[in-house]
Amino acid sequence: MKVLHVIPAIAPRYGGPSGAIFTMCRALQQQAIAPLIATTNADGEHKLPVALDQEITYQQVPTRFFDWQWSQAFQYSRPLSVWLQNHVKDFQVAHIHAVFSHACLAAARACQHNNVPYIVRPLGSLDPWSLQQKPLRKKIFWHLGVKRMLHQAAAIHYTTLAEKRLAEDAAGLERGVVIPLGFDNPAPDAQAAAENFRARQSTLGDHPYLLFLSRIHPKKGLELLLESFFKLKQSAEFSDWKLVIAGDGDADYVASLQRLVQEHQANQEVLFVGWLADGLKDSAIAEAALLALPSYQENFGICLIEALRHGVPVLVSPHVNLASDIEEAQAGWVASLEPKNFLVVLGDALRAKDERMRRGQQGREFAKRFSATCMGEHLAALYQSIARPYDEA
């Protein structure tokens, strides 16, 4: 079966969905599904150095890149739109990743015109918190095609039950299917990995560190994390701790966080290390004492499973859609975004080494639920249930 995956962009700066789609497609290849990713070369203000409008193998998956022409938010690409209209009929199913973007609307229109069933994965964009961000822009998009795209979809793919509940309540949707994301490689040996990241960060030494590993965005709660960390550092009990912020985002926003660190004279205590890829990312995770993700909205949180697979416990807000599962599994801590409560819980987590180790081990077991093979099997079954017959393609 040929399945088309459409996503606005896959550069690492766009966070978890950029990597997850390739893991997903590799898992589908093991299920006799032939995926093709159609996307743009958008990479913030720049463009990925990739061949355009031809099928290439990218991260082991057949991929077609099209030129991003304007708007970082909308990521408009007329070449992608034209290709979709001419070629979507070559596929039995389309899987659209994201909602408020040109690629998604163009893919839905092409599927509707060519009678191709399609699935939408909203990536958390239908969460009430997300819908309240830039509401006028989203209201316009809703009436320009998003409403029709969602209501004519054969299925809506959510990755957690919480995401499904929130989106259906907010947008009045049906036909939701929950299929969690999966991971396809076992976590590398932690001791071997530990030597790599620390060797590149001379100021870390042997200090324990708290890790933030995600796209740097206002919704991630970094101001709260920083202010709480600064307050804890005023006590001798936490004097040895460092905070590592791994990721990137809007340059002005990143600069504002760096200024906040400078104002607290904490440049030696808070390390901005940029994007970490592959083995270096695994190294940073494996040696961390705790991973924090105090988001105001988080659809899934791939970094959480990455940490738990290494036996690193996590601290999350209740607005992370995996929070209740993590709490039930005793794989970390859940702290409200009320500053006093967050400060207390963060302090408890940092001072309790034995408890971190216990919850980390619980996390290893919890993370085993998120198998790429299982994800591939469930997606393949979903595709089979909605696909048009080959003789109609």
**pLDDT, tens digit (0-9, with 9 covering 90-100), for 283-316:** 999 999 999 999 999 989 999 999 999 999 999 9
pTM (two decimals):
0.88
**pLDDT, tens digit (0-9, with 9 covering 90-100), for 315-367:** 999 999 999 999 999 999 999 999 999 999 999 999 999 999 999 999 999 99
Token pair of 359 as six digits: 């919850």
* Average pLDDT of span 41-65: 95
- Distance (Å) of CA 266 to CA 93, 187, 231, 248, 312: 51, 32, 11, 19, 25
* Average pLDDT of span 255-268: 97
Burial class (CB in 10 A: 0-12, 13-18, 19+), 344: middle
**Which band of pLDDT confidence, cut at 50, 70 and 90, is reported for residue 19?**
confident
Euclidean distance between CA atoms 303 and 311, whole angstroms: 13
Domains of the chain, start order: 2-182+371-392 (3.40.50.2000), 190-367 (3.40.50.2000)
What is the share, in percent, of the chain residues with pLDDT greater than 70? 96
Question: In this structure, are strands 242-246 and 209-213 parallel, antiparallel, or unpaired?
Answer: parallel
Report pLDDT for 188.
54
Report pLDDT for 187.
56
**pLDDT, tens digit (0-9, with 9 covering 90-100), for 59-78:** 999 999 999 999 887 889 99
Euclidean distance between CA atoms 9 and 215, whole angstroms: 14
Average pLDDT score over the chain: 93
**pLDDT, tens digit (0-9, with 9 covering 90-100), for 95-111:** 999 999 999 999 999 99
Report pLDDT for 277.
81
Question: In this structure, are strands 332-334 and 290-293 parallel, antiparallel, or unpaired?
Answer: unpaired
Residues 6+ apart with CB under 8 A from 91: 2, 3, 4, 36, 116, 393
* Average pLDDT of span 241-258: 95
Helix/strand/coil for 55: strand
Report pLDDT for 16.
83
pLDDT higher than threshold 60 for residue 189: no
Report pLDDT for 207.
96
Report pLDDT for 383.
98
